[in-house]
Amino acid sequence: MLNIKVFGIVQGVGFRPFVSRIAAANKIFGTVANRGSYVEIFAQGADDDLQKFLAALRDEAPERSAILNVAIDNLPDENFADFRIVDSVHEAGDIFVSPDIAVCDKCAAELFDPTNRRYLHPFINCTACGPRLTILRNMPYDRERTSMDAFPMCDACAEEYHNPASRRYDAQPVCCNDCGPEVYLLGENLRGHEAIRHVRKILAQGGIVAIKGIGGFHLACDARNFAAVNRLRNSKTRPTKPFAVMFRDVDAVSRECILTAAQMKFLDSPQKPIVLLQKISGGTIAGNVAPNINRLGAMLPYTPLHMLLFNFPDALKNFPDALIMTSGNPSGAPITIDDADALKNFGDFCDAILSHDRDILLRADDSVMDFVDDRPSMIRRSRGYAPLPIFYGGKKIPVLAIGGELKNTFCLAKNNLLYASPYIGDVGDLRTVEVLKASINRMRDLLEISPEVVACDLHPRYQTTALATELAAKLNVPLVKVQHHFAHVLSCLAENNHGDAVIGVAFDGTGYGDDGTIWGGEFLICDATTYERAETISPFIQAGGDKSAREGWRIALSMIDIALARELRLATDAELAGQKFLLDKKINCVTSTSAGRLFDAVAAILGVCNVSTYEGEAAMRLQAVAERSTCESCGDFATTAELFAEVVSRRLRGENIFDTARFFHASLAEFVANVCAELSLRTKIKTVALSGGVFQNSLLSSLTATALNRRGLNVLRHELIPANDGGLCVGQAVHARAVSR
Ligand code: ZN
Ligand code: ZN
Ligand code: FE
């Protein structure tokens, strides 16, 4: 008899039914069970049959599963009379929780098949699709440990659940129109299909609806309707930050956006992330959906409810094939997941709130992905991806890394696995701190990790630093503070499974330096244990606190003469004089090497964007402007101060701003490559890691990688872990493990 342990993503993906099918096909007797961290099989049969069974186990595994390791032992035979799935028994070990999976093609077909008993059922799912992480209370993954335990299966569903021939065999969230959860309108007496018809009518007429999804509420309206989008912007106090659009299908996306094969693969994957695509001019999407930039965040329907909203068979004509689907969260707070909060947060401006009675236990915002050189570049890693671990060698100490203050995610690490959490949000808001705490507890329970070290940012005034200090004290374990840009670079090493020293280039907005100044344009020689700040962009003065992080003209003024600033009309004379006063008297001034602020200043000089209404706006708009140029020229500058001066003089000479914006990107890329080449000569290190939010700029990332390759240097870039602060937790965990014990 063989005792087989299968490690990997083997729970919640139809693995046990698959095993019992291949056992039957190969005349194998025995059992299969979930053990929490792995699936355990006892298999008995003829040697030939056992070999075929093992081959099938590896070659025919369900499409959503991922086998990472198979351990096989020989044991004496027992008296098995058949092959069966036995009850789950919990054991400790590495745990793989499946993320939520978009509705599969087979379920989608049944959803609109009038002869199917799940016709138009908003919660149709199977072993290959449906909610997972967001409904999971504990491991192992079984119905009684999910929020589906409130919905006892009807006889028909139970039959499928227990029938090895059914594609719902052992599917934990299985349900139907008779026994499953129900959708309803909050505050109105409409349920089920009536509620869906009503919402379709409201959306078609230009209304705003809050809709409960898999990982939280969305706010939705017709993406072609300028007035509706405008109303949503005013209600959310979100003047220009782009909204994501959910399209009915791929055809609808293709009418509005350019779609490469690689983008298509991710857009239509089981994860169904939001993918940033190049807009086609003359489309029907309203101009205020993603103003001033050339991209649009597009996604496809990923729950049965989304599909019903687009395609419900009623008499309604002209339902939009593109809906705004933006996270339903009050400004600064995490995404809303329950009815009481939905009423409080959206009740006064939504025309309807469509909810359902399946509880969301863990939040999961939509993941957002851009592309650089036709490779993915994750902007927000959440639904569909979290909490899949990344593998990274080194010490195996259990770690909790709290992450950064903005775009927070946290990371739990055990053995060689780093589990980054779903997106939490900006922790400046106390509501977010509460959600962060609760999410840490839930993930610790799920993954069974008792941290022996806690890691956080070096910033003394971050909420996350305070929380980490508190948790470390409570757990009575050491606290490791990790410099922001060091953590960025290490997150890139972890994602690329690179263990050796690198030249790390961390370009981002703001990070606390180990000398108390603002860093953000850093060249670090580092490995997992230590770093040397080898070079930076030219330092400048940031005066005026938070305002200087939003208003690029304030940065520009610290680098040019006030007369010139007046000539370029960077701000009103009074504003310029006020800012000049702060600079001269050194009031609220701090030295900064932030590359993000350098982009803001250039955007202001070129008249592209003087004031950002959301983080990264000026840089995104500057990139959009640069991408309109076909000019290939770039200059060779010893410092970024000289490059900046050249941008200013081109502006004064009245040169084309598209070309100048492009010139700035290309010259900055050359500058980075030159500095790295020098550092490589000195250190003999041949690998450069690019990280930090500024490298989300796909033009800069692409130009920089090309320039580095031309100098014979290898380049590590981010793909599925964000280059922005959403990836910090991973780097913090890497360093904390490396320096512990
Ligand atoms: Zn399915
Ligand atoms: Zn049922
Ligand atoms: Fe950062």
Which domains can be identified in the chain, with CATH numbers?
Answer: 2-85 (3.30.70.100), 183-356 (3.90.870.40), 385-498+723-739 (3.30.420.360), 510-527+533-716 (3.30.420.40)
Instruction: Name the nearest CA neighbour of 236 among 161, 327, 105, 362.
Output: 327
Token code pair at residue 196:
């869906």
Gap from CA of 130 to ligand 1 centroid (Å):
7
Token code pair at residue 560:
């040019």
- pLDDT by residue (tens digit) across 9-32? 776 677 888 898 899 999 999 999
Which ligand has the nearest atom to the CA of 512? 3
Which ligand has the nearest atom to the CA of 14? 1
- pLDDT of res. 504: 98
Which ligand has the nearest atom to the CA of 694? 3
User: Look-up: residue for tokens 């703001």?
Assistant: 510
Instruction: Name the nearest CA neighbour of 484 among 506, 499, 463, 505.
Output: 506
Residue 558 near residue 540 (C-beta atoms within 8 A):
yes
Gap from CA of 20 to ligand 1 centroid (Å):
19
Distance CA 125, CA 166 (A): 12
Instruction: Name the nearest CA neighbour of 730 among 446, 366, 425, 386.
Output: 386
Which ligand has the nearest atom to the CA of 167? 1
Gap from CA of 208 to ligand 1 centroid (Å):
29
Which ligand has the nearest atom to the CA of 180? 2
Gap from CA of 129 to ligand 1 centroid (Å):
4
Which ligand has the nearest atom to the CA of 174? 2
Which ligand has the nearest atom to the CA of 489? 3
Gap from CA of 214 to ligand 2 centroid (Å):
20
User: Sign of the C-alpha dihedral, residues 683, 688, 693, 698?
Assistant: positive
Token code pair at residue 355:
């909810």
Gap from CA of 3 to ligand 2 centroid (Å):
35
Gap from CA of 60 to ligand 2 centroid (Å):
29
Distance CA 394, CA 528 (A): 9
CA-to-CA dists, residue 160 to 33, 143, 154, 182, 290, angstroms:
19, 14, 10, 20, 45
Gap from CA of 213 to ligand 1 centroid (Å):
17
Distance CA 89, CA 107 (A): 30
Which ligand has the nearest atom to the CA of 304? 1
Which ligand has the nearest atom to the CA of 102? 1
- pLDDT of res. 12: 67
Gap from CA of 104 to ligand 1 centroid (Å):
4
- pLDDT of res. 256: 96
- pLDDT of res. 66: 74
Gap from CA of 206 to ligand 2 centroid (Å):
35
Residue 445 carries which side chain, given as an amino acid letter?
Answer: D
Gap from CA of 555 to ligand 3 centroid (Å):
18
Instruction: Name the nearest CA neighbour of 307 among 397, 200, 202.
Output: 200
Gap from CA of 191 to ligand 1 centroid (Å):
24
Which ligand has the nearest atom to the CA of 161? 2
- pLDDT of res. 138: 81
In degrees, rounded to 5, the angle at the alpha carbon of residue 543 between the alpha carbons of residues 539 and 546 is 110
> What strands lie across the sheet with 38-44, from one edge to the other?
66-74, 2-9, 38-44, 29-34, 83-85
CB-neighbour burial class of residue 695 (10 A; exposed 0-12, middle 13-18, buried 19+): buried
- pLDDT of res. 127: 87
Gap from CA of 615 to ligand 2 centroid (Å):
46
Gap from CA of 357 to ligand 1 centroid (Å):
20
Gap from CA of 192 to ligand 2 centroid (Å):
15
Gap from CA of 167 to ligand 1 centroid (Å):
8
Token code pair at residue 584:
């001269």
Which parts of the chain have pLDDT scores under 70? Answer: 11-12, 36-37, 88-93
Distance CA 672, CA 708 (A): 8
Gap from CA of 122 to ligand 2 centroid (Å):
13
Gap from CA of 409 to ligand 3 centroid (Å):
13
- pLDDT of res. 37: 67
Gap from CA of 267 to ligand 3 centroid (Å):
27
Q: What protein residues have CB closer than 5 angstroms to ion ligand 3?
A: 508, 725
Q: What protein residues have CB closer than 5 angstroms to ion ligand 1?
A: 104, 107, 126, 128-129
CA-to-CA dists, residue 245 to 214, 301, 487, angstroms:
17, 10, 32
Gap from CA of 400 to ligand 3 centroid (Å):
19
